[in-house]
Structure 1
Amino acid sequence: MGSDPTGPTPGSVTLVDSLLACGAPDELEAAAAAGQQVWILLHMPLPDRPEREHRALQAAAGVICTSGSAAADIRARHGLDGIRVALPGTAPAPLAPGSLSAGSGEPHFIAVAALLPNKDQALLLEALSRLTDLPWTASLIGSDAADPAYAAQLRDTVQRLGLARRVSVPGELRGSALDAEWNAADLSLLISRAETYGLVVTESLARGIPVVVREGTGAVEALAAGTPQNLPSNSAGNPAGRPPAPPVPNPPLPGAAVGLGTDPAPLTGLLRRWLGDPALRQRWRDTAVAARGRLPGWDTTARTVLGFLATETAEAGKRPANPTARVDTLLDTADGEAVGE
């Protein structure tokens, strides 16, 4: 950007990852002053750095958020209009047989997320500790590098609560080890205190695994990604930047959103109900399997983003509306939550 002769060519658009853009507002403002079309792809709002975030977003030619909840947050905190929404895609995955179908008799929970306080695995362990009268096992899978002290606390909590024979905390897994955990899972759990979207939710649904998420987070949006009424907004995007109104009240979900504070009781109650109700387990499983074929792929996400860039720059008189036109992209996105990020 700026005066760099190797920078974007005239008429091109530069799409910048929000973590990079919001850390360099001076460069964004200089690019805007030079007439460059710089858009921000925002997948993680930074409320703890509001001034830098505000400057970068105000300087950008446009902002694309990866969920309606993230767009609403940015509108509320920065007063921005015209924010676009492009939901993340999901790669196809094989159907997970689960532990119940394998005849083990012990339902298996999986919680795939970095071992961090925001992911609230501590509350999850407290909830599970109240279910020891029922058969089940669980795996808490995710990187322990970002907060080793919290990860150590979780492992100590497993011992303190007498869950060592039921709960494993193996850290980050990849390849066949991660595949084995997915295949054994009957229910996925993501109870983060805050979540922009929650890729692990759709990664679970891609395998036919139902999910329990925390109410009031972006993970609820991900849980509904495979419902029929979401197909139009996922495939065509949301040009007005407004969350689409669901045409069907209380649509069946492949799991549930649970209201949580610091008390694990609501989560314990929901999991107890799931463990004790075969009809509920089957209903969630069937809905998750049905959602597999409706999840948008990454090609849909790419077409949506390119469509936004082409349409907006054409309206600004910068170049023809050609979704296949060249877009200079600077992305620094994570590999995904399935390895604990």
Structure 2
Amino acid sequence: MQPRPSAVRLLVPGNIRHNSGGNVYNAALARGLSQLGVRVDVEPVEGTWPVGNTEERRRLAGLLVRGTGNGDAVTIVDGLIASGAPDALEAAVEGGQRPWILLHMPLIDHPELEIRALRAAAGVICTSGSAAADITRRHGAARVHVALPGTEKAEPAVGSNPPHLLSVAALLPNKDQMLLLGALAQVQDLPWTAALVGSDEADPDYAREVRGALGEYGLEGRVRLAGELRGSALEEQWHAADLSLLVSRVEAFGMAVTESLAHGVPVVVRSGTGAVEALNLGAVDLAAQEGGGSRLPGAAVVLDTDPAPLAAVLRGWLSGPELQAQWRQAALAGRDRLPGWDATARQVLEIIGGPAPGPGHSSERRADGQ
């Protein structure tokens, strides 16, 4: 085991400015490490990541070769930057530096770049078991570790009448809000309201498509496009929620799922994605009860392009008070099973160095002085 580092240099993508799961994880990890007494330097790296252009990769190589200037410090690079720029990591190794990769999601479109980057790194810290399993299956990668996202403590939601449905995700094709709206259009005969909370600037063309679908389905009075919300405005939405949905086509983990469970709000996710792993963190163990097994605080639904299966699940939940109560009870019971961000920071520190100490002074700072 390597000596515990006194400092961590965290390189994060400068081109992802919306409230993504990766950005939330990176910021929370920096705070958590800082509270353990480790100095954290957060350096946003501008570029058209992943992959970037030749000049952006050359600049990244320079940053990595320069290192931290501190003998026992460790550099961690967000996988969105590192996975598509193996030449920069290889240059760092030649220069005597070997950074770690913090992998939020595998780089499916460029496996030939990803495998080189993973091999050049000191090791890979995956933010979900599904991501770790994927890169191990595809690349046979060694030195792969997992540090699951934590959650912030939250007050249980009180819900609404009629039920309020919530989807927290940037308006992006992968998040598949179009499928969600198609499903909601099929249950308009039942009472409910809904809000889509997430940036409409990450993909303006898709956001326009979503707005157009609201009009096409006649959902303008039922579904609110709230944009990206933070702080108390986001908490108000969680406070009013009865059910949340994350139906992404691809999801390494889905931090919106654990955020929902932290508020005691059950979740519907797409089967076959990493969001199922997040949902299972809140599963209630029924092994000691008749029948055994576990009870999910929501459901994982097999979905393709047809919204009908999702609509059927929503109809069953909206018209079934017993199912609503069961999912709600499971979500409330699962709140205490969720790890905190302190656990995430300790896990990362143990991966890159020695055992984590007790909480200490805060020492986080950004490279830009903020």
With normalisation by structure 1, the TM-score equals: 0.81
Match of 2:337 in 1: 294
Secondary structure of the corresponding residue to residue 98 of structure 1: coil
**CA distance, structure 2, for counterparts of residue 250 and residue 161 of structure 1:** 40
Alignment of 1:11-90 (within 5 A): 11-90=72-151
Alignment-mate amino acid for residue 308 of structure 2: A
Alignment of 1:229-248 (within 5 A): none
Q: Deviations over 1:75-96 (max 9, x none)?
A: 1222213411110101111111
Secondary structure of the corresponding residue to residue 295 of structure 2: coil
Secondary structure of the corresponding residue to residue 48 of structure 1: coil
Match of 2:309 in 1: 266
CA contact (8 A) 1:89 1:298 kept: yes
Q: CA RMSD in A?
A: 2.4
Match of 2:246 in 1: 190
Match of 1:307 in 2: 350
Measured after TM superposition, the shift of residue 8 of structure 1 is 4.4
Match of 1:127 in 2: 183
Alignment-mate amino acid for residue 294 of structure 1: R
Secondary structure of the corresponding residue to residue 294 of structure 2: coil
Measured after TM superposition, the shift of residue 128 of structure 1 is 0.8
Alignment-mate amino acid for residue 195 of structure 2: S
Match of 1:217 in 2: 273
Alignment-mate amino acid for residue 44 of structure 1: M
Measured after TM superposition, the shift of residue 212 of structure 1 is 0.2
Alignment of 1:197-216 (within 5 A): 197-216=253-272
Secondary structure of the corresponding residue to residue 64 of structure 1: strand
Secondary structure of the corresponding residue to residue 159 of structure 1: helix
CA contact (8 A) 1:86 1:304 kept: yes
Distance 1:250 1:266, change over 3 A: farther
Match of 2:204 in 1: 148
Distance 1:165 1:18, change over 3 A: same
Secondary structure of the corresponding residue to residue 186 of structure 2: helix
**CA distance, structure 2, for counterparts of residue 85 and residue 63 of structure 1:** 8
Measured after TM superposition, the shift of residue 295 of structure 1 is 0.7
Q: Deviations over 1:217-273 (max 9, x none)?
A: 0000001113367xxxxxxxxxxxxxxxxxx97411110000001111111111111
CA contact (8 A) 2:243 2:266 kept: yes
CA contact (8 A) 2:284 2:330 kept: no
Alignment-mate amino acid for residue 140 of structure 2: G
Distance 1:134 1:55, change over 3 A: same
Aligned length: 296
The alignment-based identity, stated in percent, is 59
**CA distance, structure 1, for counterparts of residue 130 and residue 165 of structure 2:** 27
Q: Deviations over 1:60-108 (max 9, x none)?
A: 1111101111011111222213411110101111111010xxxx3x111
Secondary structure of the corresponding residue to residue 296 of structure 1: coil
**CA distance, structure 1, for counterparts of residue 136 and residue 260 of structure 2:** 30
CA contact (8 A) 2:127 2:253 kept: yes
Alignment-mate amino acid for residue 122 of structure 1: M
**CA distance, structure 2, for counterparts of residue 182 and residue 287 of structure 1:** 17
**CA distance, structure 1, for counterparts of residue 318 and residue 223 of structure 2:** 16
CA contact (8 A) 1:15 1:331 kept: no
**CA distance, structure 1, for counterparts of residue 110 and residue 146 of structure 2:** 22
Secondary structure of the corresponding residue to residue 109 of structure 2: coil
Match of 2:37 in 1: none
Greater shift after overlay, 190-199 or 165-174? 165-174
**CA distance, structure 1, for counterparts of residue 216 and residue 80 of structure 2:** 38
Distance 1:163 1:209, change over 3 A: same
Q: Deviations over 1:111-166 (max 9, x none)?
A: 11000110011011111111111111111111010111111111111111111111
**CA distance, structure 1, for counterparts of residue 293 and residue 308 of structure 2:** 24
CA contact (8 A) 2:106 2:135 kept: yes
Secondary structure of the corresponding residue to residue 193 of structure 1: coil
**CA distance, structure 1, for counterparts of residue 100 and residue 179 of structure 2:** 38
Q: Which runs of 5+ in 1 are unaligned?
A: 230-247, 311-320, 333-341
**CA distance, structure 1, for counterparts of residue 314 and residue 64 of structure 2:** 54
With normalisation by structure 2, the TM-score equals: 0.75
